[in-house]
Amino acid sequence: MTFTYPGTMSYDNWNQLSYYFGYQAYSDAQPIFHTWLFGFVIKAGLQLVNANLGLFLFVILQSVWMSLVLAWSLTFMRRWEVPSWLFYLTLGIYGIAPYFAGYASFPIKDYLYTACFVLFLLCMMEWTMDKNVWKKRKYVCRYVAAVTFMIMFRNNGLYVYIPVMLIMIFIEAAGTRQSGKADVNAACFMKYIWILLPLFLSWMITGMITFHYDVQQNSPKEMLSLPFQQTARFVRDYGDEVTEEERQIIDKVLFYDQISESYDEMTSDPIKGMYHAESSKELKDYLRVWVKQFFRHPWCYVEATWNQNYYLFAPDIDNIVYNKDCNVGEEIVQEYGILDEINFEVPEWMDGICTIMVSYYALLSRLPVIGLLNNVAFYVMMLWTVTAFALKDKSKRVLMVLLPLWISFFIIIAAPQIQNQPRYAFPIIYSMPVVTAYYIRYGKKQ
């Protein structure tokens, strides 16, 4: 981590700082809480010494947070008495694999979100093994904190938690009914409060920041990446079949005449950036056209989805990107004047070290066997494999733990891209070692 002092930055990070320091309107285009936390720490560094200190402190903060969570997962594995080879392999992955070590100095929203996601998954494992877990204060605190921050660090956290929460409530209610009225007491109702509390806390904290900074609501284009990509491929391949009415409807949401030439099979960002709908009616009309065109050429939609996401199933392709220093992306905010207030500097004696480290990580990703540990497809295949065995063994507790991972998998499918953006798969990558250990210990038929 010290080799990338004070840290590495991205386009998103610069936008977040421009929101927090008032150079752009504070928008929910980036997670509101992560933007506030990142800006707050950078501001603290500015007031104490300089921006370098702020960025370095944030990198230390997220690295310690993730280290504690991963250490906790190793504690679980020791407690479960998993095979030594799996324990030490996991320890090696945590400490050496570039997906883990290489991103520790990158203050992207996905890193802290992933740390909270893994902690939430560990809490779920405890829950599946101990029906009295809600009576333990330390567990309740871990659970509420993990879920609350998971939701606040990325909106994905809310999409993951709601279906899992509903199933947990159903299971708890079924267990209460089986225990009989004699065992129903205040503690039975408290567990429902603990399950629901993260929703309230995340809503309250986000609401306070939204009110204080007058956060502006962004357009829904992020959630429509996949439909936009499918429409773009349809227009490119079957544009002669698009009626004039459909053309006008699409043009009110996207710039129809630019779609064909802007379509990129790997990412929906070029098409997503064309979004300019002015009313919900225009968006609803577009979605009706989108559905209608699907039934005309369903395979076109399948191809658009596959071409954007085949990296999830390609173990022989290097899909890894590292920013080399803290100046990456600053060109997007030059016009706002933020660089006059915030200026990150790499010490002269460290020039070139980051490039050497990135080359080292790239080398590791290309080595036989070791390279697999730094490949998104490898961890996705692990997810599919463990799921298949859990289904074969009818292991309900393992399938319950796998549910958040499968929701995350489908979120990746709907995301703008996976090529050169492995961070979208971090929840799966960081979780699979301990999930595999959990299956080996508690999932297999004896």
Is the pLDDT at 182 greater than 50? The verdict is no
Tell me what pLDDT residue 2 has.
Answer: 55
Q: Distance between CA 339 and CA 14 in Å, rounded?
A: 10
**Range of 105-109, 207-211, 347-351 with top mean pLDDT:** 207-211
Q: Side chain identity at 149, as an amino acid letter?
A: F
Is the pLDDT at 89 greater than 80? The verdict is yes
Residue 94 and residue 48 share a domain: yes
Residue 275 and residue 190 share a domain: no
Q: Which domain holds residue 127?
A: 2-218+321-373
Q: What's the pLDDT band for 78 if we cut at 50, 70, 90?
A: very high
Q: What's the pLDDT band for 445 if we cut at 50, 70, 90?
A: low
Is the pLDDT at 434 greater than 90? The verdict is yes
Is the pLDDT at 332 greater than 90? The verdict is no
* Contacts with 124 (C-beta within 8 Å, 6 or more apart), sequence order: 164, 400, 401, 404
Q: What's the pLDDT band for 179 if we cut at 50, 70, 90?
A: low
Tell me what pLDDT residue 346 has.
Answer: 86
Boundary of a domain, candidates 308, 340, 355: 308
Is the pLDDT at 180 greater than 60? The verdict is no
58: nearest Cα among 3, 104, 27: 104
Residue 171 and residue 37 share a domain: yes
The pLDDT of 142-155, averaged and rounded, is: 96
Q: What's the pLDDT band for 446 if we cut at 50, 70, 90?
A: very low
Structural domains in the chain (count) = 3
Placement of tokens 């560990």 in the chain: 122
Residue 335 and residue 420 share a domain: no
Instruction: Name the residue with higher pLDDT: 427 or 7.
Output: 427
Is the pLDDT at 183 greater than 60? The verdict is no
Q: Distance between CA 172 and CA 99 in Å, rounded?
A: 37
The pLDDT of 161-190, averaged and rounded, is: 78
Tell me what pLDDT residue 1 has.
Answer: 55
Could you tell me how far CA 404 lies from the centroid of its own chain?
Answer: 12
Residue 240 and residue 119 share a domain: no
> What is the pLDDT of the chain when averaged over all its residues?
90
Structure tokens at 266: 């790997």
Residue 214 and residue 224 share a domain: no
* Contacts with 277 (C-beta within 8 Å, 6 or more apart), sequence order: 219, 252, 253, 283, 286
Boundary of a domain, candidates 285, 308, 331: 308
The pLDDT of 151-166, averaged and rounded, is: 96
Residue 207 and residue 68 share a domain: yes
Q: Residue 337: how many CB atoms within 10 A of its CB?
A: 11
Residue 172 and residue 52 share a domain: yes
Tell me what pLDDT residue 297 has.
Answer: 93
Is there a cis peptide before residue 315, judged by omega within 30 degrees of 0?
Answer: no
Boundary of a domain, candidates 373, 392, 411: 373
Residue 190 and residue 104 share a domain: yes
Determine contact, residues 175/131, Cβ cutoff 8 Å.
yes
Tell me what pLDDT residue 47 has.
Answer: 94
Residue 172 and residue 145 share a domain: yes
Residue 152 and residue 299 share a domain: no
Q: What's the pLDDT band for 375 if we cut at 50, 70, 90?
A: confident
Is the pLDDT at 319 greater than 80? The verdict is no
Determine the straight-line distance between the first and last CA of the chain, rounded to whole angstroms. 43
Residue 254 phi/psi, 5-degree rounding, is: -130, 160
Residue 237 and residue 113 share a domain: no
The model's pLDDT over 381-415, given as tens digits with 9 standing for 90+, comes to 999 999 999 999 999 999 999 999 999 999 999 98
User: What is the percentage of the chain residues whose pLDDT exceeds 90?
Assistant: 65
Q: Distance between CA 317 and CA 315 in Å, rounded?
A: 6
Strand partners, 267: 264
How many Å is the maximal CA-CA distance in the chain?
72
The model's pLDDT over 211-243, given as tens digits with 9 standing for 90+, comes to 999 999 887 888 889 999 999 999 999 999 999
Q: What's the pLDDT band for 181 if we cut at 50, 70, 90?
A: low
Q: What's the pLDDT band for 292 if we cut at 50, 70, 90?
A: very high
Instruction: Name the residue with higher pLDDT: 66 or 445.
Output: 66
SS3 264: strand
Placement of tokens 């500097």 in the chain: 345
Tell me what pLDDT residue 184 has.
Answer: 57
Q: What's the pLDDT band for 371 if we cut at 50, 70, 90?
A: confident
